Structure 1
Amino acid sequence: MATLTDRLDHLLGNKAATPLAEAFDIQTVEDLLRHYPNRYATQGQPLTEGMPADGSHITIIGVVDKADLQPMKNRKGTLLRVVIAAEKQKVSATFFNGQKVKHNVKVGVRAMFSGTAKHWRDSWGLNHPSYLLLPEQRGEDDMFTVETVKGAGALKGMARSSQDPGSGVDMSIFERDLIPVYPATSKVESWDFVSCIRQVLDQLDHVDDPLPDDVRREHQLIGLDEALRLVHFPETKDEVKRAQDRLRFDEAVALQLVMAQRRHEMHGRTAPPCPPKVDGIAADFEEMLPFELTAGQQEVADEISDDLSRPHPMSRLLQGEVGSGKTIVALRAMLQVVDAGLQCAMLAPTEVLAAQHYRSLRTLLGPLGIAGELGAADRATKIVLLTGSMSTGAKRAALLDVVTGEAGIVIGTHALIQDAVEFFELGMVVVDEQHRFGVEQRDALRAKAKEGISPHLLVMTATPIPRTIAMTTLGDLETSTLRELPRGRSPIVSNVVPAKDKPAWVDRAWQRIGEEVSNGRQAYVVCSRIGDGAKDDADPEKAQTTHSVLDMFDELRAGPLAGVRVGLLHGRMPSDEKDATMQAFTEGDIDVLVCTTVVEVGVDVPNATVMVIVDADRFGVSQLHQLRGRIGRGGHQGLCILMSESSQAGPSFARLQAVAATNDGFELAILDLRQRREGDVLGAAQSGSDTNLRLLSLLDDLETISAAQEFARTIVEADPDLSNHPGLKAMTHAALDEERLEYLLKS
């Protein structure tokens, strides 16, 4: 008999186990059984839904509806063009040796076809796929009868071995009402999984359940043993649902156990308590503010203040709409830490954003932020900027202010993480646009505190995170959300311009910019690429169909915007030029800034009221929302124009219309994640893994995730290292992709 921990090479032999290990890192019985079917085919229904990715390896089961033999155009020989009928769609397939294939692949045959999907125009098909003729479907008198199982290509061996009772290939799988279909490759096909899993289940001992009986009863979950068997070979759709419900809960529990352990470990660390002072720089700052904080800002500020007062490190996510006032809240928190005699480090993803924060904080603080300079207030602190492109002298001076403690607030890019940077006494780390940083980078900055001390951590994002995502990927953080805009700020109006079909609308967009400039306002024109012949122009198709920032700059200066002051900004400009250009735009010396996404986050020019995004279909939903948030930050109405040459009937144009229809970043975040199929929801870009969760949807399974979180926190509170719950500990490793588990543990 077999257990979940048994190695597959001992159970199945090297011939079957080696491809599983090489292609999917499946080593044990549990690894194999948790490789769940990604769908179930019914008789005649395709094994893939919709249009597969070009070049992907797919398998379908269907009935040959048409089979036409045609001569090749440019050489001798014939093609057999086949149409495979399925319940929801028809798929075309082409065979290059038509004369040989026509005797097997003919009208009425029920068969499995496996090959590479090829796209052309708005359709797809299979070029010379492998095929396996299947036995007649029971209960269908008009089905073609297959007297001998035949096959070709990669399926030829399966057809041949199906005649051998000792081969392990069981053709009865194709007679089931529900045929399991697995994530597969050309070397390990779906039916290989069927064979291996059936062999393993036949030998498997009863699986003990790591979930307590009362938890299963509360959430109406079947046992793990039953779930692992039913998910692979169900008889009904209800059995599929019951099995998936249980295994989905396992995934949620595994994730939440990791998060609960991180929360517990963080709570055990020591941080410097920073209670608020009634006569400190933070109080002076609030007195000099020319406006009142919104109710939401005040509530979040109080939450953070309470966290900072405790002897354990704060770990809080501050998320809010573009322009919701996160910077003010973060500055208030930093000043509370400065009042305690400690330093704060603010990490920004780009030099433009770091410089913008530096100027913005100095402006907000006024005499409170220029300690050591003429006109400084009595309780002033010093703000220092540190970036990689600074001159040696400026960098040396900044480093000196940091190590001596003269600088209370240090703002910088990745340069802050370098070994040469030493803090006098770091008490708080603020990470802006947290999704731009890997976990190692954040940890490297926090490690610059004194030994045994963990700085308070505040991570900020203007990319809204739906509740289920925050609970799952940032479950160790407390979450604060700013939803309301500051008083006096109007919602941004957005319009989509079909540039190819409505050239007059494009002309009107440039006129609109001219009108705003004549009224003393400013504008952005954003392009998707630079256009200097470097890496971003390596794709000839993209270069032909999109407008570069360099070309657009020249075109606008010489044409529709010839009468206004036009500036240029992109990522490959020298840092001093970028900073000078941004400064000129901020001070109103540039009317229209033609730029790339270098202005996506953090840039704050209240006088800018119009943004034209050229080739807007080249940008993601969240990116468009971020860019749009750069305008309308003063008291004037903002207008965003999304230009696109894509078809008005296509999905790209529909996506732009969805962005234009709402300013709700949370609604757009969900739209964005659905389109990306949650592929990078768990930090794939940072962990190097692009695999998805197997069953759990981080958008739709709020109830499951909430229940799993409550259960996991209760367990970890009583048993932090799960030493008394070995089954749960093992389940955490089994239910999560190993790369993702390592990422979550490191973060």
Structure 2
Amino acid sequence: MSARLDDYFTARDRGALKKRGITSVADLFRFFPRRFLIPGEKTPLGGLPLGETAILQAEVISVDTRRMQKRRGTITDVVVHDGRQSMKIAFFNQRWLDNKLVPGLTVVFAGKVEEYRGQLTLNSPTWLNRDEHDEKWTPEDLNSPFPVYPRVKGIAQTRLWKAVKVLLDVADPEEFEDPIPATMREHLDLPDLRTALNDMHRPRSAEATNRAKQRWKWEEALALQTELVSRKADYAQLEATPLLKVGDRCERFDRDLPFALTPSQVTVGEEIAHDLGQNTAMHRLLHGDVGSGKTVVALRAMLKAVDSDSQAAMLAPTEVLASQHFDSIERLLGDQMALSPLLSGDDQVRVALLTGSMPARERKQLALDLATGQIDIVVGTHALMSDSTMFDELGLIVVDEQHRFGVEQREALRAKAGTRVPHTLVMSATPIPRTVAMTVFADLDVSTLKEMPAGGKDITTHTVSLADHPQWLGRVHELLAQTADRGEGGFVVAPRIESSDVEDPETEKVEHRIGVEELKEKMENAEELSSLTIGLLHGKMPTAEKDRIMKDFVTGAIDALVATTVIEVGVDVPRATMMIIHEAERFGIAQLHQLRGRVGRDGRPASCFLISNRPETDESFDRLRAVAGTLDGFELAEYDLDNRGEGDVLGASQWGGSSLHHLAILRDAAIVEAAREYAEKIIAVDPGLRSLPALRRFINRVLPAESAHFIEAS
């Protein structure tokens, strides 16, 4: 019978573990300690090393809880004795210890040894052997590095540790099947999976643990690169129709452009034109800073498809963004765009918008026009992938904000081209550092828009700590009112629709997090904003209502728009010159930069306020100051990559749900590039990984297909 979590944890415990992402023995094995206590030799209480972390074992003599006099809270004084000497250890705001720590109980405490009023004590003490069935520790326990795990509510550190240690001994052999081939491990001197897990959970030494940590980096790098190499090999087999013709539509569009293309736009256009002319499908990523002109580049590519007697489809993640793209294309084409298939001229482009909220009759007619070739370019949302949507000759797919779409969704659209595969251009409004482009997007050809069009943005960004300066919110509101008086608009963004009270799993502190609905109500009650018309926009609103709200904001009927990140990308409101972002620390750097890019789009001076409830000394303010310090998205992308924790580099907020935790793309670039060489050799011999099932399972574990957009951006 296989070992299961049910055998070692109650239903309540398993619920707490699930909140930490642990639902299996394999998950528990990879729930690694966040740090280790290195006690050294067992030392009498009187000889503990001052200033160092120590683990001590002693008997409880007395426990006394009292209220603090100068501030709220309690102090629990615990006096322990090791047979020779006593020590008083203070626990703050842990009154529950009165019922758990009783005289005569043998305890194991850990903490930093400090001196207080001439006596040694422990600072920030931790009670390690809280399990009543585990009062005694062996000399081996006391003299080995002790793992300190991220907190799991209701489960003592010792009980968690004991369960892991037992499972390491009794788990089924398949739990230890190694994703890294033996020859690769031997060449790199990496421990096997079982050894590495043991060295994380019951380490023999700090050196062994560090060696195991290096192994996790290689493991993830191999998974990432094997998937990339496999997909690139698949792409090479896909045949496409060459789009070679340069016709009237392309030439007229370039001739009528009211501005000159940047050097990057010209270069990227040539790269795309070359790819479109091949009989193998293009898989190219186009990225650049906010406002660098990606839409113009994409439209020129779509016109090339139209001139080559093919259709083009532009896929956007939301109806708001799809509508914005349609409006931008209409503005760029001018009278070259046909109002309907029936009224089109020979050199006109028939463009349509398809969304899920369209009336059924309109959608039916549009589907018929698409299937019979009466529409050249269609801009749409997920509705493009419905069974009822068919194309006559689909030659090019443009995917905007590619990270919002999964593999199956893109495949569904690609399959509508019939026997030949359409060329694919995916766009990202987030600048991608060169190191990432060379590794994470190595299965794609990458084009970069490096320059900004003439007349760049003039946006001043400010950080605001309401913890340190609560009165500053009123001043921000006054500036918003002045913005409205000038006939300009302001966005006010919060990270969620509804407010909530959230408990921090580490500190158990409950924090109120405001939503846009509550924020709008507070703003309407603010004296400084009494003369403003305030609107609300979020993703759960009916499409017709969202369209109406956006139209009112564009025309000036609404002065300030309170919204979620539904306005993050693509929304173009020229009159918007002020951006206020609440709980700014909860957004990633790329998101903050994107949101800021929604203002000052017509060249007028604009301002952005990054508001946080945290003090300026909080480490999150370093990120906010970085955003405030530059408008260069590439510079921010490099900063973000260099400063985030290893587990966040490919984390959900930026890349969509991968489970890579150890690999830092920038710092570990050498590992990632070397892993590619191993991956290429593996795929060359065994494309289906039939001889390496453990590697295939690990790839599926850390790079789930439904969210692995960054490795299947096409």
TM-score by length of 2: 0.76
Instruction: Provide the residue aligned with 1:294 in structure 2.
Output: 262
Specify the SS of the correspondent of 2:292. Answer: coil
Question: Which range moved further: 321-330 or 644-653?
Answer: 644-653
Specify the SS of the correspondent of 2:376. Answer: strand
Instruction: Provide the residue aligned with 2:218 in structure 1.
Output: 249
Specify the SS of the correspondent of 1:407. Answer: coil
1-structure distance, mates of 2:271, 2:190: 37
Relative distance call for 1:397 and 1:249 in structure 2 (3 A) is same
Instruction: Provide the residue aligned with 2:70 in structure 1.
Output: none
Asked if residue 413 in structure 1 is aligned to residue 387 in structure 2, the reply is no
Specify the SS of the correspondent of 1:431. Answer: strand
Specify the SS of the correspondent of 2:678. Answer: helix
2-structure distance, mates of 1:97, 1:496: 41
Asked if residue 271 in structure 1 is aligned to residue 259 in structure 2, the reply is no
1-structure distance, mates of 2:602, 2:100: 73
Specify the SS of the correspondent of 1:634. Answer: coil
Runs of 5+ unmatched residues, structure 2: 42-53, 68-73, 81-88, 112-122, 503-510
Specify the SS of the correspondent of 1:282. Answer: helix
Specify the SS of the correspondent of 1:448. Answer: helix
2-structure distance, mates of 1:742, 1:560: 44
1-structure distance, mates of 2:550, 2:477: 27
Specify the SS of the correspondent of 1:594. Answer: strand
1-structure distance, mates of 2:25, 2:94: 37
Deviations 1:37-86 (A, max 9, x none): 554331189xxxxxxxxxxxxxx95578998633689xxxx9954499xx
1-structure distance, mates of 2:98, 2:525: 55
Instruction: Provide the residue aligned with 2:451 in structure 1.
Output: 484
Deviation of 1:579 after TM superposition, in Å, equals 2.5
Relative distance call for 1:212 and 1:304 in structure 2 (3 A) is farther
Q: Does the CA-based 8 Å contact 2:75-2:90 persist in structure 1?
A: no
Q: Does the CA-based 8 Å contact 2:314-2:378 persist in structure 1?
A: yes
Q: Does the CA-based 8 Å contact 1:402-1:424 persist in structure 2?
A: yes
Instruction: Provide the residue aligned with 1:641 in structure 2.
Output: 609
Match of 1:733 among 697, 707, 712: 697
Q: Does the CA-based 8 Å contact 1:255-1:736 persist in structure 2?
A: no
Deviation of 1:634 after TM superposition, in Å, equals 2.3
Match of 2:428 among 458, 461, 483: 461
Match of 2:494 among 513, 528, 535: 528
* Aligned-partner residue type, residue 40 of structure 1: F
Aligned ranges 1:27-38 → 2 under 5 Å:
none
Instruction: Provide the residue aligned with 1:697 in structure 2.
Output: 664
Relative distance call for 1:272 and 1:179 in structure 2 (3 A) is same
Aligned ranges 1:554-565 → 2 under 5 Å:
554=524, 562=531
Instruction: Provide the residue aligned with 2:674 in structure 1.
Output: 707
Match of 2:38 among 42, 58, 65: 42
* Aligned-partner residue type, residue 320 of structure 2: V
Deviation of 1:357 after TM superposition, in Å, equals 0.8
Relative distance call for 1:653 and 1:40 in structure 2 (3 A) is closer
* Aligned-partner residue type, residue 551 of structure 1: E
* Aligned-partner residue type, residue 269 of structure 2: A
1-structure distance, mates of 2:28, 2:541: 51
Q: Does the CA-based 8 Å contact 2:337-2:351 persist in structure 1?
A: yes
Relative distance call for 1:360 and 1:717 in structure 2 (3 A) is same
Instruction: Provide the residue aligned with 1:509 in structure 2.
Output: 479
Instruction: Provide the residue aligned with 1:101 in structure 2.
Output: 101
Instruction: Provide the residue aligned with 1:136 in structure 2.
Output: none
Deviation of 1:237 after TM superposition, in Å, equals 3.2
Instruction: Provide the residue aligned with 1:664 in structure 2.
Output: 632
Relative distance call for 1:644 and 1:71 in structure 2 (3 A) is closer
Deviations 1:641-683 (A, max 9, x none): 3345554444555543332122233454566676686458355
Specify the SS of the correspondent of 2:287. Answer: strand
Q: Does the CA-based 8 Å contact 1:319-1:482 persist in structure 2?
A: yes
Instruction: Provide the residue aligned with 2:363 in structure 1.
Output: 395
Deviations 1:488-533 (A, max 9, x none): 213422123456233663355136415753xxxx322314289xxx
TM-score by length of 1: 0.73
* Aligned-partner residue type, residue 272 of structure 1: T
Asked if residue 494 in structure 1 is aligned to residue 461 in structure 2, the reply is yes
Specify the SS of the correspondent of 1:458. Answer: strand
1-structure distance, mates of 2:240, 2:637: 34
Aligned ranges 1:232-243 → 2 under 5 Å:
235-243=204-212
Deviation of 1:402 after TM superposition, in Å, equals 1.6
Instruction: Provide the residue aligned with 1:157 in structure 2.
Output: 133
Q: Does the CA-based 8 Å contact 1:383-1:410 persist in structure 2?
A: yes
Q: Does the CA-based 8 Å contact 2:265-2:293 persist in structure 1?
A: yes
Q: Does the CA-based 8 Å contact 2:458-2:605 persist in structure 1?
A: yes
Aligned ranges 1:201-600 → 2 under 5 Å:
210=181, 212=183, 235-275=204-244, 277-370=245-338, 372=340, 378-450=346-418, 452-467=419-434, 474-498=441-465, 500-502=470-472, 505-506=475-476, 508-510=478-480, 512-514=482-484, 516-517=486-487, 522-528=488-494, 536-537=498-499, 542=512, 548=518, 550-551=520-521, 554=524, 562=531, 566=533, 568-571=535-538, 574-583=542-551, 585-586=553-554, 588-590=555-557, 592-597=559-564, 598-600=566-568
Relative distance call for 1:486 and 1:377 in structure 2 (3 A) is farther
1-structure distance, mates of 2:274, 2:186: 37
* Aligned-partner residue type, residue 41 of structure 1: L
2-structure distance, mates of 1:652, 1:229: 34
Deviation of 1:364 after TM superposition, in Å, equals 0.5
2-structure distance, mates of 1:103, 1:242: 42
Specify the SS of the correspondent of 2:498. Answer: helix
Deviation of 1:267 after TM superposition, in Å, equals 1.8
* Aligned-partner residue type, residue 578 of structure 2: V
1-structure distance, mates of 2:100, 2:556: 75
1-structure distance, mates of 2:392, 2:263: 35
2-structure distance, mates of 1:208, 1:607: 55
Q: Does the CA-based 8 Å contact 2:352-2:377 persist in structure 1?
A: yes
Relative distance call for 1:310 and 1:599 in structure 2 (3 A) is same
Relative distance call for 1:14 and 1:331 in structure 2 (3 A) is closer
Aligned ranges 1:75-154 → 2 under 5 Å:
81-82=77-78, 92=92, 94=94, 96=96, 98=98, 101-104=101-104, 110-111=108-109, 132=129
2-structure distance, mates of 1:544, 1:201: 46
Deviation of 1:212 after TM superposition, in Å, equals 4.1
Q: Does the CA-based 8 Å contact 2:61-2:104 persist in structure 1?
A: no
Deviation of 1:360 after TM superposition, in Å, equals 0.7
1-structure distance, mates of 2:79, 2:516: 37
Match of 1:622 among 587, 590, 615: 590
Specify the SS of the correspondent of 2:241. Answer: coil
Question: Which range moved further: 588-597 or 260-269?
Answer: 588-597
Aligned-residue CA RMSD in angstroms?
4.8
Deviation of 1:596 after TM superposition, in Å, equals 0.8
Q: Does the CA-based 8 Å contact 2:315-2:398 persist in structure 1?
A: yes
Deviations 1:64-120 (A, max 9, x none): 8998633689xxxx9954499xxxx996584647487343458xx64479xxxxxxx
Q: Does the CA-based 8 Å contact 1:492-1:639 persist in structure 2?
A: yes
* Aligned-partner residue type, residue 259 of structure 1: L
Deviation of 1:589 after TM superposition, in Å, equals 4.8
Relative distance call for 1:26 and 1:379 in structure 2 (3 A) is same
Q: Does the CA-based 8 Å contact 2:145-2:204 persist in structure 1?
A: yes
* Aligned-partner residue type, residue 42 of structure 1: I
* Aligned-partner residue type, residue 525 of structure 1: F
Relative distance call for 1:67 and 1:485 in structure 2 (3 A) is farther
2-structure distance, mates of 1:381, 1:543: 48
Instruction: Provide the residue aligned with 1:121 in structure 2.
Output: none
